[in-house]
Amino acid sequence: MATIQPNDAARKALQVLRETRAKVLSTREWQHVLRGYGYALRKTDTGMTVLRLPHNHEICDLPADLCA
């Protein structure tokens, strides 16, 4: 699978993901809050991918600093 390059929508999504991750205590809570914002994470062979709900449209790959 080819790496998805971030565009403006992806940059905005990653900003929301980073801000949200800084506020929550656990990965599970983070994923729950992301669903409220209309995002989801999917584990793939190459790492994690950010999806836009409700149609599971792939936005970009999750950067390594957010995977930990």
Q: Say if CB 39 and CB 26 are below 8 A apart.
A: no
DSSP state of 32: H
Tokens of residue 31, six digits: 């994923």
Q: 17 phi and psi, to 5 degrees?
A: -60, -45
Is residue 24 included in any domain, yes or no?
yes
Is residue 34 included in any domain, yes or no?
yes
pLDDT in tens, 5-59: 558 888 999 999 999 999 999 999 999 999 999 999 999 998 899 999 999 999 9
Sheet holding 47-52, edge to edge: 39-44, 47-52, 57-61
Domain count, the chain: 1
Q: Is pLDDT at 1 greater than 50 in this prediction?
A: no
Is residue 29 included in any domain, yes or no?
yes
Is residue 68 included in any domain, yes or no?
no
Tokens of residue 52, six digits: 């836009």
Is residue 31 included in any domain, yes or no?
yes
Global confidence as pTM? 0.80
Q: 44 lies in which domain range?
A: 8-62
Map residue 42 onto helix, strand or coil.
Answer: strand
